Amino acid sequence: MIKTRFAPSPTGNLHIGGARTALFNWLYARHMKGVFVLRIEDTDVERSKDEYTKAILDGLEWLGIDWDEGPFFQADRMDIYREHAFRLLETGHAYKCYCSAETLEEKRGIAVKEGRKPAYDRTCRNAIPAADRDGRPFVIRFKTPISGAVAFDDMVRGRITFQCEELDDLVILRSDTTPTYNFTVVIDDALMGITHIIRGDDHINNTPRQIVIYEALGYPMPLFAHVPLIHGKDKARLSKRHGATSLIEYKNDGFHPEAFMNYLARLGWAHGDQEVFSREELIDHFDLANVGKSPAIFDIDKLTWLNGHYMKTLPESIVAERLAPFLQEMGHGTLAIDKLIPIVAILKERAKTLLEMARMAAFFFGDEVPYEEAARTKFLTPDTKPVLERFLAGFKALPSLDEEEQKALVEQITEEIQKKLVAVAQPVRVALTGRTVSPGIFEVITILGREQVEKRLKRAIESIN
C-alpha cells in the first residue's frame, strides 16, 4: 500500500512551500488510495513551540488536508533513536567521536586555508577504542562509505548519483544524546512504513546520506520524489520580500481554502491546460509524472483571480458563513447568516476576497455610516438637499420596497427637477452608503430595509448646512 507523509518542524508557521509539500503528499496518497501520515519533527527543543504546532494543524485543517495516522511527535520517540544509534555502533556502522567543538573548528579552518572541503577528517573513525575516554563527552557519527557512489531514481528528476567521497561522516547522535535530522527521518519513515517521500528539491543533498543509513539498518528503501522549489516573479526563492509566505496570513486576508488548494496544486503540477479544479478533480488527476522540473512561480495576481472565481461560484451560504468573522473583527457583532446571504449575492461579482467583501459590506451595518470626504463634499450639498427631502417623502409613501416602485420614485423626481437619474441616485447613494461607488442603489435599499433607509436619509439631510 502507498504511504506518504508530511513532517514539518514546529519552529515557525506553516509556509507556502510546506503547505504545497503537504498537499502533494496528501493528493498522491488519496489518488493511489493509500495512507497519509502527519509527523511533527520537534527534536529542536529550543525553537519548537506549541503555538507553531497548533498553527500547522490549523493550517492543514483550513486547507482541507486530513491525515490517516498521527500526528506523531518525534519528542516522544527519543529512546527509539538512541537505541538505533547504539545498534549502529554495535554493528560497526558508526563510531564515537571525542573531538571537541574547538578542535573541530580548528580543523575546519585548516581545511579552508588549504582549499579543501571543510568536512570532518574522520580522526576518530579508525582510532583504537578506549574505555569511555575517561568519561569525556562524545557524539556518534555514521561511518559513511569512503569510496563508490550512491544513486537513486528520483520520480521527478530521474537518475541522481552522488560520489561517496563527497559525503562526510555525519553526526547521528549529539553529545547530549539528542538525534539529528537525517538520522531521525530515516528511522521514522522506515518504522512508519513510508513508501514514497515527496519533498522539496532542497532535500536532494540529504538523500544519499539517508540512503546509506537505510542500508546500514537493513530497512526497505522508499521511493523519492523531489519537487522544485517555489520562486517569486523575480525568479528568486520565495521569501517574505515577495509578500506573505505563511499560510495563515492568506486565510486572514480572506482567501478561500478551495482556491488556495487549487492554486497550490498548480504550482509545479499540471493536467493539460485546466486551471480550475475541484477537490475531487485534484484527487482524480494528480500524479507525479506531471510534476515539472523547473521552479514554480508564485503569482499573487493569479491567486487573487482564482479566489475571485470561487467568490462567485461557491454557494452564497458558505461565503456568508466565512464572511461573518471578518465583519465581527471589524466590530459589527454577531450577524445572522441569512441576513448576510443577500449581501453576498450583490457583492460576489465585485469582491476578490472575503476581507475585501467585508470592507465593501461595512456600510450595511451601524446607524451612522461614515461619509467619504469627497463624496460628502460633492453630493451632500444645499443643492442636493431638496432632492434628498423629496426622495425621503416619496420613500415613506411607498407601499413596499419593490424595486420597480423604487425606480418609479427616482424617475418621478428626475422629471420634476428635469435632470438625469444620476442627480437623484448619487446623493441618495452617498446618504445611504457614505461613498460614491456601491452595488445597485435599489438592491442596497432592499437590504437595508425601510427603517434604516429613512434614518440614514434624515441624518444626511440634517448634516447639510
Q: What is the DSSP letter of 94?
A: E
Using only the alpha carbons of the chain, give its radius of gyration.
Answer: 32
Note whether 190 and 217 are within 8 A (CB): yes
CB atoms within 10 A of CB 47: 11
Which helix (H) or strand (E) covers residue 385, if one does? helix 385-397
438's grid cell? 456601491
Cell of 214: 537505510
Angle at 151 between CA 147 and CA 156, to 5 degrees: 155
Beta bridge partners of 37: 5, 69
In 3D, which of 230, 235, 234, 314 has the Cα closest to residue 265?
Answer: 230
Q: Which three cell numbers stand for residue 82?
A: 538512541
Q: Which of 77, 56, 79, 92 is nearest to 217 (CA)?
A: 92
How far are the Cα atoms of 93, 244, 245, 287 from residue 251, in angstroms, in the given order? 47, 11, 12, 27
Annotated catalytic residue within 3, 143, 240, 396? 240
Helices within 91-135 (DSSP H only): 101-113
Q: Is 348 a catalytic residue?
A: no
CA atoms of 61 and 39, how far apart (whole Å): 15
- Which residues are annotated as catalytic? 240
